[in-house]
Structure 1
């Protein structure tokens, strides 16, 4: 782990994000101005709101990398007290969220809820209900061990978590409200500039949050892991 430079890793991740963002924008402009089919290969493989493509696989990989690093911390001897349950629990959470990125589990859960209950406005995407509850319960569980960590690590984790949740939940809820308020045609959301911008911001915040989280774990390992 000593050979890994956290700053270089973060820089590399930011470069990848920049490339993916550029391709996402180019593919949308091509779709919008040239009136191309959303099923075109370039659009499907680069659009942030599509699944099983370059952006979604990259996002999933960030979660899996975080899960692996958290497991490593859990097994490591540290210069400070090591709450193995804390690290392993977080590792499991990010293993699940990585699978969610690939398989869109939250959308299936949201569909089931919408078929049973009527949700609208900021709850237009019904999956946010159980996921917000899960985040709240997780926050209660990790509160004490989190704040026993070094101050810089705590700040990095909180900032990373804030960015991720702001994108994954905050922007998603705003998008749901926007769709209903302006009565947008959900079959044509890929073409609408408003929803494209919102989905891009959402995924970008998620990627940035996860990249910062990976950086924070690497930084923690570099400073507090005993060789």
Structure 2
């Protein structure tokens, strides 16, 4: 029998390199438009733009979400088999599956548009989806407090870092982004600063959370192993 132990770095290091390359591609594309007059509708400019839903960055983020969903389901399955509490892990998997779908078809963008016109939001709340999503996040923080306190110190630290990065980008920077967009629109500064920071923070947040889930699975199984053979 061949026994292979997989470490978190096996997955996270390649993803980190990809994130860095995507950010570099986004910034180089903006530089090409600014400094060399390349048409902003250029295929490669758009496919590498962190703000384009149909670009490579979105595909990478969807893969990150799916990796997290897979890990959450594995943890829930292992805990259920060991007769431990697993429901909250399974619920997280469903939540992340919804967010994967959201990332794919931009549910929050349609929600933002409807709420913006209905509530006439402006300033920090211009992108109105932050209202319901922010409220749901607050409720989840309260509901998952006991769950969080039961995690190991190592996993807790990773969860906190992941939340600071992802929520700080998705909600925090989005609030500032909305205010700027309401005043100036999607200009080059918007893409250069706000989009670059927000999308990078989100990708890094998912990466850290994925790493935390690998660590959690290692703790649940006394190491993350793959076995081949009889």
Match of 2:166 among 159, 164, 173: 164
TM-score (normalizing by structure 2) = 0.89
How many angstroms apart in 2 are the aligned matches of 1:64 and 1:171?
Answer: 24
8 Å contact from structure 2 (residues 158, 212) kept in 1: yes
1:98: how far off?
Answer: 1.3
State whether residues 77 and 225 of structure 1, in contact with CA within 8 Å, keep that contact through their aligned partners in structure 2. no
Change over 3 Å in CA distance of 1:124–1:149 after alignment to 2: same
For 1:82 and 1:136, how far apart are their aligned partners in 2? 26
Cα separation, 1, equivalents of 2:76 and 2:200: 29
Secondary structure of 1:43's aligned partner: helix
Q: Kindly state the Cα deviation for residue 113 of structure 1 after the two structures are TM-superposed.
A: 0.6
Match of 1:115 among 110, 114, 117: 117
> What is the TM-score normalised by the length of structure 1?
0.91
Per-residue deviation, 1:115: 1.9
User: 1:46, 1:159 → 2: CA distance?
Assistant: 26
2:204 to 192, 199, 208: 208
**2:188 equivalent in structure 1:** 192
Runs of at least 4 residues of structure 1 off by over 6 A? none
Query: Map of 1:31-110 to 2, 5 A cutoff?
Result: 31-77=33-79, 82-110=84-112
- Displacement after TM superposition at 1:77 (Å): 4.0
Alignment match, 1:223: 219
Summarize deviations over 1:13-71 as a string: whole Å, max 9, x none.
Answer: 11111111111111111122233333210111000011121101101110111011000
Deviation of 1:143 (Å): 1.1
How far did residue 205 of structure 1 move?
0.3
Aligned residues: 221
CA distance in 2 between counterparts of 1:36 and 1:13 reads 29
